[in-house]
């Protein structure tokens, strides 16, 4: 009986945000989900280009753990959106806009990893978790992360 009352008290304490506020939050998440895929691709393509000089769709597919057809489809989307170009039998290259996006994503990723490490998260977990967090975190939160790390002399 006591447990039931406690649970009801906890449930009653939860207040829903205003409808428009909650809708805005969910909309932001849906938008981030759509962009996350492209961001992962441009970041990986930039890494492949900088380390090996080329980014072949086969390599992209293997490293992202997707099928070759999925990689081709998403690379085609990158091309339509002006983030990548390609030549037959050559691979994928980033446009200037693609390079800028890759640099922003890489910087966001690094900042999130550094913050997680500062909190004591193990390195491998921090890298893996940052892959998700980096796409959803707001600019205000990133700024707070940077200020926190700077105050600790870690930035």
For 8-61, how does the pLDDT look when each residue is reduced to its tens digit (9 = 90+)?
A: 555 556 788 888 877 777 776 666 666 888 999 999 999 999 998 899 999 999
**88 exposed, middle or buried (CB, 10 Å; 0-12, 13-18, 19+)?**
exposed
For 100-148, how does the pLDDT look when each residue is reduced to its tens digit (9 = 90+)?
A: 999 999 999 999 999 999 999 999 999 999 988 998 888 999 999 999 9
For helices 57-64 and 19-52, the axis angle rounded to 10 degrees is 130
Distances (CA, A) of 98 to 25, 28, 71, 139: 27, 22, 16, 20
For 74-112, how does the pLDDT look when each residue is reduced to its tens digit (9 = 90+)?
A: 999 999 999 999 988 889 999 999 999 999 999 999 999
pLDDT at 78: 96
Its pTM stands at 0.76
Q: What is the DSSP string of 54-89?
A: ---HHHHHHHHT--HHHHHHHHHHHHHTTSEEEETT
pLDDT at 22: 76
Residue 62 has pLDDT above 90, yes or no: yes
pLDDT at 9: 54
pLDDT at 135: 87
- What is the CATH code for 28-151? 1.10.10.10
């Amino acid at each position: 009986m006591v447990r039931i009352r406690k649970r009801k008290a906890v449930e009653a304490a939860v207040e829903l945000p205003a409808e428009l506020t909650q809708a805005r939050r969910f909309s932001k998440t849906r938008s981030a989900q759509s962009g996350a895929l492209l961001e992962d691709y441009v970041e990986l393509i930039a890494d492949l280009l900088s380390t090996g000089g080329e980014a072949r769709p086969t390599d992209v597919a293997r490293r992202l753990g997707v099928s070759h057809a999925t990689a081709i489809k998403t690379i085609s989307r990158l091309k339509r959106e002006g983030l990548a170009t390609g030549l037959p039998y050559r691979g994928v290259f980033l446009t200037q806009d693609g390079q800028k996006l890759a640099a922003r994503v890489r910087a966001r990723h690094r900042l999130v990893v550094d913050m997680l490490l500062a909190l004591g998260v193990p390195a491998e977990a921090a890298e893996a978790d940052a892959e998700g967090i980096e796409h959803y975190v707001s600019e205000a939160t990133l700024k707070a992360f940077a200020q926190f790390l700077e105050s600790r002399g870690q930035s």
